[in-house]
Amino acid sequence: MFSDPLDPLSQIAKDKPDQTPTPEAGMRSFSLLFGILGAVVVIAGLLLVFGVRFTSDVMTYDASKEFVVTGTIVGFDEFACPASDGELERHVRFKTDSKEYEVHLAPSRVMRSVGWQFNVGEKMDVRGAPVRFRGKDGILARQITIGDNIYTLRNQSGQLLIQQ
So where are the chain's domains?
A: 8-49, 63-152
| Half-sphere exposure in the Cβ direction for 7 (13 Å, CA) | 9
- pLDDT at position 149: 93
Burial class of residue 40 (count of CB atoms within 10 Å of its CB; 0-12, 13-18, 19+): exposed
- The domain 63-152 having CATH identifier 2.40.50.140: the answer here is yes
- pLDDT at position 13: 55
- pLDDT at position 120: 94
Q: Name residue 134's amino acid.
A: R
Q: What share of the chain is helix, strand, coil (3-state, %, to 5)?
A: 30, 35, 35
- pLDDT at position 92: 93
- pLDDT at position 124: 95
Strand partners, 93: 75, 102
- pLDDT at position 111: 87
- pLDDT at position 84: 77
Q: pTM score, two decimals?
A: 0.64
CB crowding 100-133: b at 16 or more within 10 Å, else e: ebbbbbbbbebbeeeebebeeeeebebbbbebeb
- pLDDT at position 57: 56
- pLDDT at position 126: 95
Taking 70 as the pLDDT cut, the residues of the chain under it are 1-27, 51-58
- pLDDT at position 12: 56
Q: Collapsing DSSP states into helix, strand and coil, what is residue 144?
A: strand
